[in-house]
């Protein structure tokens, strides 16, 4: 009889221990999210001087800052033509037909094969 009682007590103790472990685990991993409010920096970089610079900046900077262009390696004119075409056709950059040659020429001059 005594053994049975001891077993019951032990069992209960184990159950209590197990429950508190689960509770602790839950408490440990419960997350409360806090609202976030941030400011994103503006780019302070422009493109190098050259014919067509203004038309490039006024068109291309609508969607992305100068870094996108400044970090590009030397690329052939055909690649720059393809890039400008992609920006217009796929990403819907509102670039006038008449501005395209100036943009391609500028990019090729600044970022063409050396």
* Site residues for another protein per CB under 8 A: 29-31, 33-43, 45, 62-68, 70-75, 79, 83, 90-94
- Beta carbon nearer to another protein, 5 or 40: 40
Return the number of the residue (3 or 71) whose C-beta is nearest another protein: 71
Q: Which token pair is 75?
A: 């690329």
- Closest to 84 measured CA to CA, from 71, 108, 100: 100
Q: Which is nearer to another protein, 57 or 79 (CB)?
A: 79
Q: Are 106 and 53 in contact (CB under 8 A)?
A: yes
Q: Nearest approach, Cβ of 43 to another protein (angstroms)?
A: 4
Q: What does DSSP assign to residue 73?
A: P
Q: How far is the CB of 52 from another protein (least distance, A)?
A: 18
């Amino acid at each position: 009889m005594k053994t049975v009682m001891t077993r019951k007590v032990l069992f209960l103790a184990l159950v209590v221990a197990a429950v508190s472990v689960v509770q602790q685990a839950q408490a440990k991993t419960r997350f409360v999210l806090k609202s976030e409010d941030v400011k994103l920096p503006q780019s302070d970089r422009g493109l190098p001087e050259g014919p067509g610079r203004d038309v490039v900046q006024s068109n291309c900077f609508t969607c992305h800052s100068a870094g996108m262009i400044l970090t590009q390696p030397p690329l052939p004119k055909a690649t720059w033509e393809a890039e400008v075409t992609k920006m217009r056709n796929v990403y819907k950059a509102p670039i006038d037909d008449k501005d395209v040659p100036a943009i391609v020429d500028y990019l090729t001059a600044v970022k063409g094969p050396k």
